Amino acid sequence: MRHLLPSLLTLLTLGLLAGLWLQLPGANGPPEWRWEYRSAGLAAAGVPILLLGLLLIAAALARGGRFAGSRPGLALLVLLGLGLTLAVVQAQPGGFGRVLQSLVSRHSFSYVFDAGVAPPTRELLADYPAASALLDLHSRTHPPGPLLLVRGLDALTRRLPLPEPGEGGIAAAARDAMAHEVSRARDRGRPAPAVPPGPWSLVVLGLLLPALSALTAWPLHRLARSWGLPPAAAALAVLLWLLTPARSLFTPSLDQALPLLLVGAAALAAAGGRATAVKAVAAGLLAAAACFLSYGCLATLPWLALVALGAGREESREEAPLWRPASLRRPALLGVGFLLPWLVLALATGYAPWRDFRIAITAHRAMAVVTRSYATWVGWNLYDFVLLAGPAMVALALAALWPEPVDPPRPARAFRLGLWGFWGLLLLLDLSGSVRGEVGRIWLFFMPFAALFASGERRSGPAPALLLALLQLALLYSLAANLVFVS
Amino acid identity for residue 86 in this structure: L
User: How does DSSP classify residue 196?
Assistant: P
For 16-67, the pLDDT digits (tens) are 999 999 999 999 999 999 999 998 778 778 899 999 999 999 999 998 899 9
Mean pLDDT of the chain: 91
265 contact partners, CB below 8 Å, separation of at least 6? 283, 284, 286, 287, 290, 304, 334
Do residues 349 and 126 make contact, with C-beta atoms less than 8 angstroms apart?
yes
- Taken in order 292, 296, 302, 308, is the CA torsion positive or negative? negative
- Tell whether pTM > 0.85: yes
User: How does DSSP classify residue 461?
Assistant: -
Could you tell me which residues are beta bridge partners of residue 36?
A: 484
CA distance 22 to 152: 45
For 323-375, the pLDDT digits (tens) are 566 678 899 999 999 999 999 999 999 999 999 999 999 998 888 888 899 99
Domain boundaries, the chain: 97-206, 216-227+239-461
For residue 223, what pLDDT band results from cuts at 50, 70 and 90?
Answer: very high
Helix (H, G, I), strand (E, B) or coil at 194: coil
Q: Which is nearest to 483 in space by CA: 88, 104, 110? A: 88
CA distance 180 to 101: 9
Do residues 280 and 269 make contact, with C-beta atoms less than 8 angstroms apart?
yes
For 420-469, the pLDDT digits (tens) are 999 999 999 999 999 999 999 999 999 999 999 999 865 556 888 999 99
CA distance 251 to 268: 27
Does 319 score more than 60 pLDDT?
no
The angle subtended at Cα 313 by Cα 317 and Cα 452, nearest 5°, is 105
